[in-house]
Structure 1
Amino acid sequence: MTDTKKIEHRKSATHIHEHVERFAVAGLQGPQSTMFSIAMGRDAAEVVSETLDGGQLTLNEDDILTYRLDVATITMSETAARGLVELLSSMLANQPKRED
């Protein structure tokens, strides 16, 4: 019989739940270890103005602002980063490949 134990999950006051499609990673070398910082976000577009010309509303290229919405930056140790890579690799290996 194995010794099992449940670990309760609690959300911090700064917990986020967001959809992300874009990310950037930076390695931060410290005196003792390497840390990895992952910025996560998604691309967005915002209509900032419209042009009313003779009763007709039109959108011009300069009426739309596109930007990267950064929703979180997570920093983790090299050990945690390697664990994340292993977990994601394992999960992806078990998924059927889809053509997007």
Structure 2
Amino acid sequence: MASVSTHRRGVFAISVAADMASMQIQNLRVYERRGLIEPDRTAGGSRLYSPADIERLRRIGDLLAAGLNLAGIARVLELEATVARLRAENQRLRRTGRD
């Protein structure tokens, strides 16, 4: 299993990322402008997408297929991140309480 830092390091060019996520390149640019995704950038300004970015793009695709618009998708992604953060905090507190 890849480490967290490796999972979030941008390694895929936009054309590869679009292909992996079954999306058009211009859609990735729109999602970036809307704040749904934040790819790394090379010193020259080229976008580099990480495995985590690809997963997020696939999630965006799933939510689009479910009928959500980009504003709705942004809210869902925000809520999912909050739930993940709260679950991690809950687990941490449960472990701390056992000591």
Normalising by structure 1, we get a TM-score of 0.31
- Structure (1/2) with the larger strand percentage: 1
Q: Which has the larger radius of gyration?
A: 1
- Structure (1/2) with the larger helix percentage: 2
Which gives a bigger RCO, structure 1 or 2 (Cα 8 Å, sep 6+)? 2
